[in-house]
Amino acid sequence: MGSSVSHAATLPPPPPPPPAVGLTGVLPPKTEEKGETKVDWLNLPCPVPFEEIQREALMSLKPELFEGLRFDFTKGLNQKFSLSHSVFMGSMEVPSQSSDTIKVPTAHYEFGANFLDPKLMLVGRVLTDGRLNARVKCDLTDNLTLKINAQLTNEPHFSQGMFNFDYKGKDYRSQFQVGNNAFYGANYIQSVSPHLSLGSEVFWLGHQRKSGIGFAARYNTDKMVATGQVASTGIVALSYVQKVSEKVSLASDFMYNHMTRDVTSSFGYDYILRQCRLRGKIDSTGCVAAYLEERLNMGVNFILSAEIDHRKKDYKFGFGMTVGE
């Protein structure tokens, strides 16, 4: 018995089966082809608000540049209420008919109060020059939001107020605006595919008897965002943002004014490191700018701002610090 079992274990494997007869033995095996992902046209994503259609490009190309010294301090009193203090010392440009840039020294202190709630946001700012800025955001329902922006000044005819009613649908957004000087505006943006959204806006400024209409398109994927806008006022604006990696983004924009025949374009970058964020741009007018935010500690950030305009020979440098979240 033991010898027969040992002999059976050493038997060679069976021979392979004979080749198939006909074309089945010549043709390669069939591979399953992956079909395209079907689009659920009834469940398209909700687009971004119409006024934020270029938010990725503006983040890189329009940093908050400043000249001089800036210090911001925010103290939270509880989870919903906080106070802020801001000091700025620098220079302010004065409009002039010549090509030379005229600057005058300026300084101001700003006191602010913030109330943040999941359904209500109140923000107020008071400056030493007499200006008062206020913002209100209130969620009336799950889809309807009321926004109020107001600015009061000591100078006559410079105070402003704006009421916005935003409605967020399943795959669309709409907004209606009412402001002083008989301003009325409305916009609507609709997702037409998982990546493409189209929108339009109209406005009427009764104080100046002006009206306009505009159209916009936005195409976005995980790696890029492209936008285009055209308005009856003669403005054509294009922007493109390419996400190179999780930390690096490149952006460019193009703007053409048909009324004045002015053309400007710019190229910028946004680099996010572990402890800092660096943004910069260069445009067709010869202006180069950079903005650095360095995180020194929890709740403490150091800011450097620089802008050089070679054509106007204007140089702006600023540094600041923010304390508090």
Is position 194 within any domain? yes
Q: How far apart are alpha carbons 70 and 87 in whole angstroms?
A: 6
Strands 68-76 and 314-323: parallel
Instruction: Check: CB of residue 299 under 8 Å from CB of residue 280.
Output: no
Is position 225 within any domain? yes
Q: What is the pLDDT of residue 16?
A: 56
Q: What is the pLDDT of residue 17?
A: 54
Is position 13 within any domain? no
Which residue in 229, 228, 248 sits closest to 240, CA to CA?
228
Q: What is the pLDDT of residue 28?
A: 53
Q: What is the pLDDT of residue 8?
A: 41
Q: How confident is the chain (325 residues) per 10-residue block, as mean pLDDT?
A: 42 53 48 61 91 93 92 94 95 75 88 95 94 96 96 89 96 96 96 96 92 97 96 96 95 95 95 94 94 93 94 90 89
Q: What is the pLDDT of residue 304?
A: 97
Is position 21 within any domain? no
Determine which helix (DSSP H) or strand (DSSP E) holds 2, and give its type and residue range: helix 2-9
Instruction: Check: CB of residue 296 under 8 Å from CB of residue 319.
Output: no
**Beta-strand (E) ranges in 284-323?**
287-297, 300-309, 314-323
- The enclosing domain of 249 has a CATH number of 2.40.160.10
Instruction: Check: CB of residue 323 under 8 Å from CB of residue 73.
Output: yes
Q: What is the pLDDT of residue 26?
A: 46
Q: What is the pLDDT of residue 112?
A: 97
Is position 3 within any domain? no
Which residue in 44, 122, 123 sits closest to 86, CA to CA?
123
Query: What is the sign of the dihedral through the CA atoms of 96, 99, 105 and 109?
Result: positive
Is position 37 within any domain? no
Type of residue found at 38: K
Q: How far apart are alpha carbons 199 and 189 in whole angstroms?
A: 4
Give me the torsion for CA of 279, 285, 286, 288, rounded to 10°: -10
Q: Which domain holds residue 277?
A: 55-323
pTM, two decimals, is: 0.81
Task: Please count the other Cβ atoms lying within 10 Å of the Cβ belonging to residue 247.
Answer: 12
Q: How far apart are alpha carbons 52 and 40 in whole angstroms?
A: 25
